[in-house]
Amino acid sequence: MVEPPSDGPSDATTGDDAFERAAEWLTAPTALMSLSIEEARVVVGYMSPRFIPADTTFIKEGDAHDEGFMALILDGEVIVESITVSRTEPVTIRVLGPGSVVGEVGLVDMEPRSASCTTSTDSMFAILSREGLAALIANEPSLGAKLLLAIAARLAERLRDNARKLRLYAKLAKAMHQELERYARS
């Protein structure tokens, strides 16, 4: 069911392969956290493999009733988008590939989903649900803390990025306001 990625063969077609692939992603230097392969296998034991076909919106912005899971992309591509205030034009925020994580905001708080996630290709995921996270914290608190520190660092990074964008918007709004005032005076 899963298309091999364009840059090489894929073996993430079964649950076992997906688990091992998830553990490998979790130990990559660019991954969410730096874990040994043994630690990563323990964390992955609390995750579930899930295949999602292309063009499926598996997280819906505003949804207050989903299970609050986080998804590690093993294969495929996900488009993360958010509807503007006007509720007419979706704004693409990010396009993410293997090794990236989506849904971590909804995993750690109980609010409605802040963005929508849609597969642009057939994709394979390792899913961590709220129940899985709670079980990991209860049974392996050190690993749970390590995962949560990594999630918090990821959220902090996104917060910094948003703060930069807000400052740019503030500057843009100020420049436009000045230009409008010049027009109004002339």
Residue 172 φ/ψ, nearest 5 degrees: -60, -45
Round to whole Å and give the CA distance between 147 and 142. 9
Q: Considering the rule CB under 8 A, would residue 38 count as an interface residue with its own copies?
A: no
Q: Beta-carbon neighbour count of residue 2 at 10 Å? A: 21
Least distance CB 54 / its own copies (angstroms): 26
Q: One symbol per residue from 55 to 84: x for binding its own copies (CB under 8 A), - otherwise; what is it?
A: ---------------------------x-x
Q: One symbol per residue from 105 to 134: x for binding its own copies (CB under 8 A), - otherwise; what is it?
A: x--xx-x--xx-------------------
Binding region for its own copies (CB under 8 A) out of 2-10, 20-28, 39-47, 144-152: 144-152
Q: Which residue has the tokens 């598996």?
A: 58
Residue 19 φ/ψ, nearest 5 degrees: -60, -50
Q: Considering the rule CB under 8 A, would residue 54 count as an interface residue with its own copies?
A: no
Q: Considering the rule CB under 8 A, would residue 170 count as an interface residue with its own copies?
A: yes
First-to-final CA distance of the chain: 64
Enclosing H/E stretch for 178:
helix 141-185
Q: Considering the rule CB under 8 A, would residue 168 count as an interface residue with its own copies?
A: yes
Contact 116, 26 (CB under 8 A): no
Binding site for its own copies (CB under 8 A): 82, 84-86, 91, 104-105, 108-109, 111, 114-115, 137-138, 141-142, 144-146, 148-149, 151-153, 155-160, 162-163, 165-173, 176-177, 179-180, 183
